[in-house]
Structure 1
Amino acid sequence: MIGNLSLDQLRILVTIADAGSFSAAGRQLSRAQSAISQSVATLEAAQGVLLFDRSGHRPRLTETGRVLVSQARTVLSSAARFEAVAAGARGGIEPELALAIDPLVPTGPLIESLRALHQAYPHLPISFSTEGLGGALRRLRNGDVALAFCLLLPVVPPDVVASSLFRVALTPVVGAEHPLARLDRPATCADLESHIQLVLSDPVERDANNYGLTGATPWRFVDLGRRLDFLLAGFGWCRMPEHLIADHVAAGDLVRLDLAEDAQAPGDALTIYAARMVDKVPGPAGQWLLKDLQARLSL
């Protein structure tokens, strides 16, 4: 009961609207037609509105009634989700699964596993946090999320349990009109140092590891999309995840740089991990997601 309103009254109202009549609703709900009529009359009296026009052969929803039927559907749907989450919690399922994702992590590999997770746990709320570099690990340590999909450089911290998922290829690129794009030979460190390097950096720990820093003139970015905008505008060069620049390279907006040996980074790919805190094991849904993702990526 919500004040003078009950979920049963709302259920009867919606059933009448769907079934087309009081008698049909009574048959569907295994109630006498008189009980259905009394419930509607009580609801009308409590709310001070007329839900049905009874002047004709068969009661019809008034304009107010049609609007309130829509509202009733929303309330009943919310109530069903409320009960499902409560039932899941009684069974040990986490009431919400919170995930944090580093900006360099492609969401593509996660989508199918999350789709399957929704089918397995249809009422489980899922929240995502995508922040600047290092933000996923901070949220994990703060207890805001159960799992983080992130980079862990230079090594996996001792307070974290991490499973490597896949590697993201990094490609040095530059705008098509940039001077580096017109070199007819591999670019050396000397070539790169005279140009702006667009660096993705941790917005909180400014002294943290600078991933792939080569140039003497770095411009630091927190947002990967913003860095791509500057790259496309010809403001500098950088190493970008291959999945983000492939279409731009194909369209001719970006050019892959051939780097000389002295300008090459130690590695041409970054490992993406699924991480959790040592002392906090994810609930059943989080464990289900992690196992499904690992299984899909191993195919």
Structure 2
Amino acid sequence: MISPITLDALRTLDAIERRHSFAAAAEELYRVPSAVSYTINKLEEDLGVALFDRSRRKAELTAIGRLVLEQGRQILKATEELTALARQAAQGWEVELRICIDSVLSCAPVYDLIEAFQRIQPKTEIRLSEEVLGGSWDALNDGRCDLVIGAEGAAPAAGFAVHPLGEVPFVFAVAAGHPLTQLPMPLPASAIHDYPTVIVADSSRHLPVRSSGLLDGRSRIIVPTIEHKIAAQCRGLGVGYLPRHRITQELAEGRLALLTLDTPRPPEGISIAWQRSNTGKGLKWFVDQLKHMRFYADGRGLTKMQSPSTPKV
């Protein structure tokens, strides 16, 4: 059954209620008052209900009329949003942009980018997700995200565009007062065999999982993110490697202590990555901004690249 409630009828009803008269609504809609009255009378006739109480000097909405108006305004708003989204998509802007942040990075720099992006394109919905190790590549390969920030290692397949951000140094950390802090440095691998390792689980669903910083032959505590790993190690539940830039506060407050192993872990290269076939304007904007950023191992993390100092004359 085709509904007699048309968008034109809803706009007319909305204008009458806002302008408080049929005549004023007609002026707003660039119609003659008789055309406005006809639209409402036809709607009432087709619905078989009275939308206005005309027994008074001034026509007022009935309870049913108020219901139709309130629900109708939601329809009008949804229609306006759909129109804007259609025009937005036609111009190349994404309706939704999905950004995956690898757990090794903090989200703070990405929030700054999103704030700047909203000022130029507020209609694109941003969806953030967090993945670990191979999970970032898996999300991109599987179509669960459009852009990865902080992807570790090399791309697992062709078709990805990749831009390096830098290298993340990892340090071996334990809770302050841990028995290992009483031993001479550097520690041999055998010295830590009696203590559990806190491991962040690879979040990959389809691609082969990656291991990172595993110390074999030991009991393990498996957590979902770097944030959970930091919290577990601060409580002394286990030991393990952590990204140096993520634990500056814990070190400053004395909740974690750094130890030196006789075989240190090498830094991990991280990148941004996206599908080459994706030509969305929102994706391009984020990629362009990120190409002017770099990961700094001195504690600043991911931030804008520093301009080279001007040589002295």
TM range (shorter): 0.7 to 0.9
Counting only pairs closer than 5 Å after superposition, residues 23-172 of structure 1 correspond to structure 2 as 23-153=23-153, 155-157=154-156, 159=158, 160-165=160-165, 170=170, 172=172
Instruction: Classify 1:216/1:54 alpha carbon distance in 2 versus 1 (closer, same or farther; 3 Å).
Output: farther
Following the alignment from structure 2 to structure 1, what is the Cα–Cα distance between the partners of residues 202 and 232? 18
Give CA deviations for 1:34-71 in whole Å, capped at 9, x if unaligned: 32233233334444544433333323334444444332
The 5-angstrom pairing of residues 203-222 of structure 1 reads: 203-204=203-204, 208-214=209-215, 216-217=217-218, 218-222=220-224
Find the residue that maps to 2:262 and give its secondary structure: helix
Q: 1: CA distance between counterparts of 2:70 and 2:234? A: 47
Please list the CA deviations of residues 253-296 of structure 1 after superposition, one character each: whole Å capped at 9, or x if unmatched.
Answer: x32x22225153222xx444210234x24322211221134346
Match of 1:284 in 2: 281
Is the Cα–Cα contact under 8 Å of residues 192 and 215 in structure 1 kept in the other structure?
Answer: no
Deviations 1:168-199 (A, max 9, x none): 5645444456544x637657244433211111
Give the letter for the 2:224 counterpart.
V
CA RMSD of aligned residues (A): 3.4
Whether contact under 8 Å (1:201, 1:211) holds in the other structure is no
Structure 1 202/121 Cα, relative in aligned 2: closer, same or farther at 3 Å? Answer: same
Q: Deviation at 1:241?
A: 4.3
SS where residue 210 of structure 1 aligns?
coil
Is the contact between residue 51 and residue 64 of structure 1 (CA under 8 Å) also seen in structure 2? yes
TM-score of the superposed pair, with normalisation by structure 1: 0.79
Query: Which AA in structure 2 matches 1:275?
Result: A
What is residue 294 of structure 1 aligned with on the other side? 291
Q: Are the structure 2 counterparts of residues 293 and 216 from structure 1 closer, same or farther at C-alpha, using a change threshold of 3 Å? A: same
Is the 8 Å Cα contact of residues 106 and 243 (structure 1) preserved in structure 2?
no
Q: Is the 8 A contact 2:172 2:260 kept in 1?
A: no
**Residues 258 and 241 (structure 1), Cα distance of their counterparts in 2 relative to 1, 3 Å cut:** closer
Equivalent pair of 1:147/1:282 in contact (CA under 8 Å): no
Q: Identity of paired residues, percent?
A: 27
Closer, same or farther: CA 282–222 of 1 in aligned 2, 3 Å? farther
Deviation sequence 1:209-238 (CA, Å, 0-9, x none): 422224642333334454345335431123
Contact 1:147 1:275 in 2 (8 A): yes
In the other structure, the counterpart of 2:237 is: 235
Give the residue type in structure 1 aligned to 2:221. W
Distance 1:241 1:51, change over 3 A: farther
Deviation at 1:8, TM superposition (A): 1.9
Structure 2: tracts of 5 or more residues without a match: 294-303, 307-313
- Taking the aligned partners of 1:291 and 1:211, their CA distance within structure 2 comes to 30
Q: 1:120 deviation in Å?
A: 2.6
Q: Is the 8 A contact 2:103 2:131 kept in 1?
A: yes
Structure 1 pair 162–96 and aligned structure 2 pair: CA distance change class (3 A): same
Q: Which amino acid aligns with 2:305?
A: S
CA offset digits 1:70-110 (Å, max 9, x no partner): 32232222212222222233334444333333222322111
Aligned length: 292
